[in-house]
Chain A
Amino acid sequence: MEHKRVIQLLTRKLAGEATQKEIEELNQLMTLFPEALYYEETLKQIAFKNELPEEVDIDQAFNLHEHRYGHEFEDYKEHQPGPQKSFIKRWLIAASFLITCGFASYYLIHNNLLRRKNDVSYNPTTEIVCGKRMRKKIILPDGTSVWLNTNSKIQYDDAMLYQDHRDVRLYGEAFFDVARDKKHPFVIHTQKVTIKVLGTAFNVKAYPGDHVTETTLIRGLIELSLNNDPQQRILLRPKEKLALREDISPKHMDESDNAQIHNKMVIENIEPIEISNKDYFEETSWVQNKLVFKDESFKELAPRLEKWYNVTFQINNKAAEDYRFTGILENETVTQALSEMQIIRPFKFKITANDKVIIN
């Protein structure tokens, strides 16, 4: 009986719930049974492991939260008189500015070709990494806006303005709104291609490991060259997308020991997707935090959803693979998105540990 009572009182004491009277009673029992000290000391030491695989990064968590729900509270940001301009508004202002400065680019690109030869190496001093499930906007020292997509990083030199070129290196996907500066061409280095620009807006998708490198131009004019064949240059015009596909041919086809990598280039016009009377470009809608898809099969869509939500899909239901979906995802969570898709087509889903989405 005393054992029970000691443990009961100890429990309350350790939880900070014991009354003064109970503390006194416990102290008295402890003098009678000094062994009880062992219980107290051991129980006091018990702390539980933090189960979360990684510590919560508050800034990152708040950024994500703003991505999801920012429209509900960002108008209340203080120290900014009046409600803030919406993202779209700011976007349009940037766009109109860019259109006006796009004209001189052709001439300047010719200048560029002459300058190419002194393409010196550069030493990036800053690296910005966008983790999984993050998308962020950064402003480079020269005023260029960069929207960095999930799982991507960009490197640049803080003193880029004092050099001949404004060099940046990109791993992953980014949308650029390049600040105009005639004297200092803006050069983006990726694993496979190098892109020179003067003042324009475009999207580059060059994830290491992906076999396709895509460049989509929205405004202005850019010149693109292949890293393994710098002589070959391509001029890209607005609404054109260049996809560089890597084909690895079988060994025996060639005399050399190395498997040959052939670059296959495809230039195509991008077509706006019309959803609810609005035009969207699939390639760049992520900048506005939207995932747009039109008449895509579940099978094609799954890898995009995987990247968007940082989950993995397992589609067990063969019929579901061929379901076709059209839509825009904005603030939806993965559960909400799938629930909405369930309304269109019948399937079952389950989200298990390790963020695996199983479609049945």
Chain B
Amino acid sequence: MPENLSDLTDIINAIAIDDSYVAYKKLFGLLFPSIKRFAYSLLKSPQLAEEVASDVMITLWRKRKAIPSVSNIKAYSFTIAKNLSLNILKNSSGGKIISLDDISINLQIDNTTPEWILINDELRKSLNDAINELPTQCKIIFKLVKQDGLSYKDVAEILDVSVKTVDAQLVIANRRLSVSIRKEFNLAPIKKN
């Protein structure tokens, strides 16, 4: 292997140009867990999520000659995962589920981080409640940005919405959370006098 496979672009080129099995395996390691997690959040079945993530990976392999022209491989994979998951949901629900808005998304704050141990139960509960009440699309955007570190542009591409929508939805989410925070710390409203 002449190429150095530390860089995602190198990995993709090695797959596209050399049909490299080693590079493909590496790409699998980089993408599979987050794709599976994303599919799971939509499907709520580890088995189906595994299948979807596996199908996404083989799609990348089958289309390997074309993937160097894809601007962001992660966003591209997530888009395929979203479509495959929606197809499964559409079929198993007898056509009742046709878009992401028809499904419910679980979003729970990870309270195992050291910082969270310092935050009291009441605020934790209040924030979790606020998150749970967010609309589906808002939750998905929140998750993709926070958990998967995706950019506004990537999220917009995956969900087929505008960058403006992504920004606006995230702001809505944080504004709702800020209500909980304000109550907890008894903060004065941010306003010019």
Chain A residues within CB distance 8 Å of chain B: 1-4, 6-8, 10-12, 15-17, 29, 32-33, 35-36, 38-39, 42-43, 45-54, 56, 58, 61-62, 64-65, 68-69, 72-74, 76-78, 133, 309-311, 333-335, 339, 348-355
Contact A334 B50 (CB under 8 A): no
B contact residues around A76 at 8 Å (CB): 19-21, 24
* Assembled-state Cα–Cα distance A64/B28 (Å): 12
A contact residues around B45 at 8 Å (CB): 351-355
Quick one: which of B24, B46, B107, B123 contacts A48, CB cutoff 8 A? B107
Shortest distance between the CB of A7 and any CB in chain B (Å)? 5
Closest residue of A by beta carbon distance from B118: A45
Contact B175 A4 (CB under 8 A): yes
* Assembled-state Cα–Cα distance A52/B143 (Å): 14
Kindly list the 9 A-B residue pairs having the minimum CB-CB distance in the complex, ordered from nearest.
A56-B33, A3-B190, A355-B47, A49-B108, A49-B110, A76-B21, A69-B58, A333-B51, A353-B44
Contact A73 B21 (CB under 8 A): yes
By secondary structure, the A interface counts as helix
Contact B21 A74 (CB under 8 A): yes
**Given A48-B143, A52-B37, CB of A2 within 8 Å of CB of B47:** no
Contact A64 B54 (CB under 8 A): yes
Contact B58 A58 (CB under 8 A): no
B92 contacts A by Cβ under 8 Å: yes
A contact residues around B24 at 8 Å (CB): 73, 76
B80-99 toward A: CB 8 Å interface, digit per residue (1/0)?
A: 00000000100111100000
Chain B interfacial residues counted at CB < 8 A: 69
**Given A64-B54, A311-B47, A352-B45, CB of A51 within 8 Å of CB of B32:** no
B73 contacts A by Cβ under 8 Å: no
A contact residues around B171 at 8 Å (CB): 4, 7-8, 11
B41-80 toward A: CB 8 Å interface, digit per residue (1/0)?
A: 1001111111101110110011000000000000000000
Chain B residues within CB distance 8 Å of chain A: 1, 19-22, 24-25, 28-29, 32-33, 36-37, 40-41, 44-51, 53-55, 57-58, 61-62, 88, 91-94, 106-111, 113, 115-116, 119, 123, 127, 143, 145-147, 151-152, 167, 170-171, 173-175, 177-178, 181, 185, 187-192
Contact B92 A350 (CB under 8 A): yes
Quick one: which of A46, A133, A351 contacts B48, CB cutoff 8 A? A351
List 22 A-B residue pairs with CB atoms under 8 Å apart, sorted by A's residue number: A2-B191, A12-B167, A15-B151, A35-B185, A35-B188, A42-B181, A45-B116, A46-B146, A48-B109, A48-B110, A49-B108, A56-B32, A56-B33, A58-B29, A58-B32, A61-B53, A62-B32, A65-B54, A72-B58, A74-B21, A133-B47, A335-B91
Shortest distance between the CB of A168 and any CB in chain B (Å)? 30
**Given A73-B61, A351-B45, CB of A46 within 8 Å of CB of B177:** yes
B contact residues around A16 at 8 Å (CB): 151
**Given A42-B119, A51-B37, A355-B46, CB of A78 within 8 Å of CB of B151:** no
A contact residues around B28 at 8 Å (CB): 58, 61-62, 65
Contact A47 B109 (CB under 8 A): yes
* Assembled-state Cα–Cα distance A29/B192 (Å): 10
